[in-house]
Structure 1
Amino acid sequence: MSENEQVKNEKQGKIRISSENMMPIIKKWLYSDKDIFLREIVANGVDAITKYKKLVEMGEVKPADDSAEEYRIDVRTDEAAKTLTIEDNGIGMTEEEVEKYITQIAFSGAEDFLQKYEKASGDGIIGHFGLGFYSAYMVASDVEIFTKSYKGTPAVHWESDGNATYKIGEAEERGRGTKIVLHIADEEKEFLNEYTIRSLLRKYCSFMPYPVYLNAKGVKEGEKDEKGNEKQADKPVNNTQPLYLKDPKECTDEEYKAFYRDTFSDYNEPLFWIHLNMDYPFRLKGILYFPKVKEQVQLEKGQVKLYCNQVFIADNIKEVIPEFLMLLNGVIDCPDIPLNVSRSFLQNDRQVQKIAKHITKKVADKLTALFKDDRERYENCWKDIATFIKFGCLKDEDFYEKVKDIVIFKNLEGKYVPVTDFFGEEISDEDAEKGKQAKAIYYVSDETQQAQYIRLFKDAGLDAIVCDTYIDPHFISFIEYKNPRKCRFVRIDADVDAALKAEGEVKQDDYKDLIELVKKHLVNKDIAVKADKLKNADVPAVVNVEEFMRRMSEMNKFYGMTEADAMKNATLVLNVANDTVSKLTGLSEEKQEFIVNQIYYLAMLSYKKLSPDELADFMKRSETLLADYAK
């Protein structure tokens, strides 16, 4: 018994459930999510208030004399008494209703809930909905109910320790509504802590439609103390009118930003947002925010909160929200989502699939509109949204089809250009059979490392795109797969393209002695050597790795192969138009060895980082060169 309330005409009864061992089993299933009890009980209070309001609106109940009555839910912690109390001023219950809804339905409902969990075999019930009142025993050793029906019948007290018996009787007179008192178990003392309960209310009840107060002191707005100073009024922990419920036309930018800050505790302004608002063919409201991403590792920090009638369900439910949208921050409220079902059921539910497709379409429409209507802003946001869009294309074909023309890359001039602008004419079946290849799209993966190749391309009047994020290798392979006859991607250092070569064919036999000389002196005996004539005579040599072999090498390296294995596919291309290279054969062996490897290291520096031993050798040779030059 709690709070000194007297009970009369008490009687005992037996709870009709088939299993007396439900509690240990449910605790096993929900061990890591036991805090849902608070959501379930507060949600019951919300339902009770809603039912009463409807009766008043229908004229079946005459409202209280105080027409300004505030519908509310009060939560109170009492560490001394070891109790947590949740109270509402909703419809209340008669003794017969307590017998029916608590003793019979609530406990049988818990049994149904457990059976669904067992059938799910670990698949998981979405949001853990359906446990209801029985969830209180996740943290309480004993639970009491004090309730007074709107019908004016005597107040009722009910109590049970969660086993097969309960006590019920007449309680002291009280106001309309229901008070549930949880006697917190010794091992669950954390749920007596005000900060813990406030955090849980913020998590699960942030947008519930009626004010939820925690340890309210009964101070109203504008109330003053004896000295005339205004007291600090009680404030609800929740926002009963979240922004996503408003008409988008009535929302200001500042309201969107404030809602973002309050909901996600992120004080960086979002780039932009999408307000979802529809009632047919399903009900869906929400706001999706595109956050600023300073580093690529932050991409996993997205959080899309799923609600049902303003009650929190869970974060990032991929069966409802497309996986790539998890990179965003947002709130989605969809009453039409079935809750008391497994994730696998959701995955195959047609209505849920329609909802996911609609969300995807809205995101694609927003991005396309921004690209067309405010290209400058779109380009300014690109660094933050590029990975999201590319990941979305990889994960969702419908999304790719909608945004493929707005995927942009920076070119060598620093301008953003849609990747489709680089596509060539689609090659015919006949040309494909003859071995004709699709147009090459050259790309740079490291602007610093590949600076020499960039210079060669610019000098030749050629362009390339910059693909320097970790997702780009996967994305360009995907683009090739989707457009096999319009494009192929070739890294800028993969080959000496005809456009980079000077006029006239270079026969390898004509430079056989030069090639053998270079092979003889090279510190790297694995690299192939060939001769060619470049338009730019200042460059003595470049390193090429054929695109397909380089991609294979990178994949092998990812799975544990060494850098040396990758370099076996490399070719050192000697530029016979270069004065230094042309003089090599006439020098002493000592000078040949020195210059050959200096040329090699310079070429390698434009391709990749040197190994510690290579770098040490290169530095030593450079120091010798400086000393000789100073003589």
Structure 2
Amino acid sequence: MNKEGSLSINSENIFPIIKKWLYSDHDIFFRELVSNGCDAVTKLKKLDMIGEYTIPEGKELCVKVTADAETKTITFTDNGIGMDANEIDQYINQIAFSGARDFLDKYKDKTNDDQIIGHFGLGFYSAFMVADRVTIDSLSYKEGAKAVHWESDEGTSFEMTDSAKTEIGTTITLYLNEDSYEFCNEYRAKEILDKYCSFMPIPIYFEAIKTAEEQARIDEAEKKAKEEEEKRKAEEAAKKAADGEAVEAETEAEPTEKAPEAPKPINETTPLWAKHPNECTDEEYKEFYHRVFHDYKEPLFWIHLNMDYPFNLKGILYFPKINTEYDSIEGTIKLYNNQVFVADNIKEVIPEFLMLLKGVIDCPDLPLNVSRSALQNDGFVKKISDYITKKVADRLTGMCKTKREDYEKFWDDINPFIKFGVLKDEKFAEKMNDYIIFKDLNGKYLTLPDILKENEEKHKNQVFYVTDEKEQSQYIEMFKKEGINAVLLKHNIDAPFITRLEQKNPDVKFVRIDSDLTDSFKEETSDEEKETLKKDSESLTALFHKALNNDKLTVKAEKLKDASMACVMTLSEEGRRMQEMMKMYGMSGMDFGTPDETLVLNLTHPLVQYVLAHAEDESVTKYCEQLYDLAALAHGTLSPDRMSKFITRSNEIMMEIAK
């Protein structure tokens, strides 16, 4: 047999293809050609199952990948169904005529298509992204079939002849182009196979053939190691002899050659997600997590997805342990199609907020596009996404109801996921509404209704919160003395999160504890005292405006219950939230003004009384500056310049006292 011709393109099935742009990642050819090999094996198994072929007893059906650094080739060999000349003409020479599709159509009443990977018949041509020349040697399972050799340079023309192949199956050899020699490197090839083929359903074996130079280096290293071992033994025997110890005579024994270990597949053909949850142990879940995601920490918990109707979807989602800021969390959801890796974090399938998790999802029903690296955006994909969201919400709400202690224990780690979900997904927000908990100043966890009930009498629908326990320590002490509770909201995500909760619950208002001083902190005053307070506020306002050269500062005079506190600074809740939002969205360079500061001066404190009594003295300026800086320090930190002035001024005041 001798045949030549030009490759024909089935234009009804595909758009014009240029080989180098078929896939964005050139290493994808490993996945495509190994997948084709797995398909060929699966087809033969199905024919055996329905009685149209008998697999020899004890024969392992598999795919073998060989990387030859000497010849700069990569070979993919399977012992599956094979092809005859007509099938090569049909499936290879006519681009995009899918052999998988044709096989399923033929046997649709006799078997199912769960494990047939191929969809478009284009995977084979990914070889030409990295190879100047590709050959195929194939022998069909059909009785009396003749082996066929096919080869093509550049993928534009082909030649078919008889082949010397004697074993049923297909061997594809890629003669790599100069830009792609990296792929026949043993470590690079292993890395790519691990990425794409770790869980394919058919055993995959890998062999690396080294260059003559590499093999010579290995042989030399082994020889040197053997010589050093012999030298060590000789020195040890000599030392024993010198110490007068009897040296046992070594009897010459026939060296027994150790049987070489049988090669092991590089993949796991039945991954954990393919099993029923009842068959999996906690240790297996953890081991799978460590191996797949290379995370040394233990996952908090996981959700095993196992659905057969109305679509086929399996997977495992892990909640990783996180003790860091929200904006540095990065998860990985690996998407598979029939155990073939497709991509990481495909947003059409995985709800955006769940991309903070780590996990695997395998959905054979996914409508993949030509390169299997993106999805058609249709209603079916949306149903999958909704299902995943529902399962996660069910798991979390169920834990809160039945394992509240565990739920609280995990809350510090999982709350960024939940809050992000509330912000991004309306359905998830509705399901989680009654299961969001807040940690209070005493370490107790409360729901929003719990907090509102606690504050109902004095503070109506206000929820006080803390963002930094160190910077707001003065206010925390004040709250504790008055028996007022507050919750901790320390993640960056909390700012938009509480805004969202306020939108969903119009009567609720979140107030940071340093934004204002409620009447709970003030002494009761008569109408006459209120008039005096008003006059004192006016006098102190004028005094501080002049001393600080700042007319925008709001100054208030109050009689606070805590007589030990001379002054306190409060910040406008709205202004501060605006600043935080600007910072979060990288708008810090824009001038939206600073949060409105209010300096509250405690008239029950002697220092404030002193300032008020000596308002006309020039020396009182430094005391005004000192009170202002003390209030700011209790709230946070001072700028370097302001801190230097504060230290100098403090020394001056101390020297005056010491005189």
Question: TM-score if structure 2 supplies the norm length?
Answer: 0.83
Preserved contact between residue 14 and residue 165 of structure 1 (Cα < 8 Å): yes
Which range moved further: 414-423 or 402-411?
A: 414-423
Q: 1:301 to 1:286 in 2, by over 3 A?
A: same
User: 1:501 — aligned with what?
Assistant: 522
Bigger mean CA offset, 537-546 vs 579-588: 579-588
- Paired residue for 1:604, among 632, 636, 643? 632
Instruction: State the partner residue of 1:14.
Output: 6
Deviations 1:346-397 (A, max 9, x none): 5742221111111111111111222233333322222221111111110111
Does residue 490 in structure 1 map to residue 511 in structure 2?
yes
Q: Following the alignment from structure 1 to structure 2, what is the Cα–Cα distance between the partners of residues 190 and 518?
A: 72
State the Cα deviation string for residues 275-326 of structure 1 (Å, max 9, x = none): 1111111111110111122322674421100001111111100000101111
1:448-487 matches, cutoff 5 A: 448-485=470-507, 487=508
Separation of aligned partners in 2, 1:400 and 1:370:
17
Query: Distance between the aligned counterparts of 1:377 and 1:576, measured in 2?
Result: 49
1:225-263 deviation per Cα after TM superposition (whole angstroms, max 9, x unaligned) = 972534233111111111111111111111011111111
Residue 133 of structure 2 corresponds to: 142
CA spacing shift, 1:529–1:129, aligned 2, 3 Å = farther
CA distance in structure 2 between the partners assigned to 1:203 and 1:57 by the alignment: 31
Q: Does 1:296 align with 2:325?
A: yes
Aligned equivalents of 1:185, 1:306: Cα separation in 2:
31
CA apart distance, 1:629: 4.9
Cα distance between partner residues in 2 of 1:215 and 1:36: 19
What CA RMSD, in Å, does the superposition of the two structures yield over aligned residues?
Answer: 3.0
Matched letter for residue 378 of structure 2: D
Using the TM superposition, give the Cα deviation of residue 488 of structure 1 relative to its aligned residue in structure 2, in angstroms: 0.8
Q: Distance in 1 between matches of 2:466 and 2:375?
A: 42
Mapped pair 1:94 → 2:62: no
Q: Aligned pair in 2 of structure 1 residues 95, 130: CA closer, same or farther (>3 Å)?
A: closer
Secondary structure, in 3 states, of the residue corresponding to 2:8? coil
Alignment of 1:430-445 (within 5 A): 439-445=461-467
Q: What secondary structure does 1:583 align onto?
A: helix
Mapped pair 1:510 → 2:535: yes
CA distance in 2, matches of 1:614, 1:470: 28
Report the equivalent of 1:417.
446
Identity of aligned residues (%): 49
344 and 467 in structure 1: CA distance in 2 versus 1, 3 angstrom threshold: same
* Alpha-carbon distance in structure 2 between the residues aligned to 1:297 and 1:307: 27
Aligned to 1:377: 406
Residue 258 (structure 1) aligned to one of 279, 287, 296:
287
Counterpart in the other structure of 1:546: 572
Verify: 1:151 aligned to 2:142, yes or no.
yes
Name the CA shift for 1:216/1:195 in 2 (closer, same or farther; >3 Å).
closer
Partner in structure 2 of residue 210 of structure 1: 202
Counterparts of 1:202 and 1:160, CA distance in 2: 29
In structure 2, the residue matched to 1:166 is 158
1:338 deviates by: 0.6
Q: CA offset at residue 210 of structure 1?
A: 0.9
Deviates further, 316-325 or 403-412: 403-412
Q: Secondary structure of 1:301's partner?
A: coil
Compared with structure 1, are the counterparts of its residues 314 and 17 closer, same or farther at alpha carbon in structure 2 (3 Å cutoff)?
A: same
Equivalent positions of 1:103-122 (< 5 A) are: 103-106=93-96
Q: Residues 24-423 of structure 1 correspond to what in structure 2 (within 5 A)? A: 25-28=18-21, 30=23, 32-64=24-56, 67-106=57-96, 131-152=122-143, 153-215=145-207, 227-296=256-325, 299-340=328-369, 346=375, 348-423=377-452
Q: How many residues align?
A: 585
- After TM superposition, the score normalised by the length of structure 1 is 0.86
SS in structure 1 of the partner of residue 70 of structure 2: coil
Deviations 1:494-538 (Å, cap 9, x if unpaired)? 112122221116335331334333333236453121212222222
1:84: Cα distance to partner?
Answer: 0.6
- State whether residues 73 and 88 of structure 1, in contact with CA within 8 Å, keep that contact through their aligned partners in structure 2: yes
What is the one-letter code of the residue matched to 2:167?
Answer: G
Q: Which moved more, 1:617-626 or 1:441-450?
A: 617-626
State whether residues 156 and 169 of structure 1, in contact with CA within 8 Å, keep that contact through their aligned partners in structure 2. Answer: yes
**Any idea what SS the aligned residue of 2:93 has?**
helix
Shift of 1:453: 1.2
- Asked if 2 retains the 8 angstrom alpha-carbon contact of 1:293 and 1:299, the reply is no
> After the TM superposition, which of the residue ranges 540-549 and 243-252 deviates more from structure 2?
540-549
- Structure 1 residue 343, shift from structure 2 partner: 10
The 1:537–1:381 alpha-carbon spacing in structure 2 relative to 1, beyond 3 Å, is same
Distance in 2 (CA, whole Å) between partners of 1:383 and 1:260 is 21
> CA separation in 1, counterparts of 2:339 and 2:354?
21
Q: Distance in 2 between matches of 1:439 and 1:334?
A: 46
Partner Cα distance (1:265, 1:555) in 2: 34
Distance across 1 between alignment mates of 2:600 and 2:208: 79
C-alpha displacement of 1:45? 0.8
After superposition, the Cα gap between the structure-2 partners of 1:178 and 1:572, relative to the gap in structure 1 and judged at 3 Å, is same
- Note closer, same or farther for the CA distance 1:179–1:534 as it changes in structure 2 (3 Å cut): same
Deviates most, 497-506 or 268-277: 497-506
Q: SS of the counterpart of 2:638? A: coil
* Alignment-mate amino acid for residue 6 of structure 2: K
Structure 1 residue corresponding to 2:617, chosen from 562, 569, 589: 589
Q: Are residues 130 and 375 of structure 1, via their aligned partners in 2, closer, same or farther at CA, if it must alter by over 3 Å?
A: farther
Q: For residues 582 and 47 of structure 2, what CA distance do their matches in structure 1 show?
A: 70
Post-superposition Cα deviations, 1:1-35, rounded to whole Å, max 9, x if no partner, equal xxxxxxxx33322322389xx998341453x4111
In 2, the alpha carbon distance for the partners of 1:407 and 1:129 equals 46
Q: Which runs of 5 or more structure 1 residues have no equivalent in the other structure?
A: 1-8, 110-126, 218-224, 428-436
CA contact (8 A) 1:523 1:597 kept: no
Alpha carbons of structure 1 residues 344 and 491: separation in structure 2 relative to 1, 3 Å: farther
* Partner in structure 1 of residue 110 of structure 2: none
Deviation, 1:409, is: 2.0
2:499 match: secondary structure:
helix
Q: Cα gap change, 1:473/1:349 in structure 2, threshold over 3 Å: closer, same or farther?
A: same
Q: CA deviation at 1:420?
A: 3.7
Aligned equivalent of 2:234: none
Counterpart for residue 226 of structure 2: none
* CA spacing shift, 1:301–1:137, aligned 2, 3 Å: same
Cross-structure match for 1:115: none
Q: Secondary structure at the match of 1:231?
A: coil
Q: Distance in 2 between matches of 1:62 and 1:586?
A: 107
Q: Would the aligned equivalents of 2:333 and 2:358 in 1 still touch at CA under 8 Å?
A: yes
Structure 2 distance, partners of 1:425, 1:444, is 17
Change in CA separation of 1:597 and 1:463 when aligned onto 2, cut-off 3 Å: same
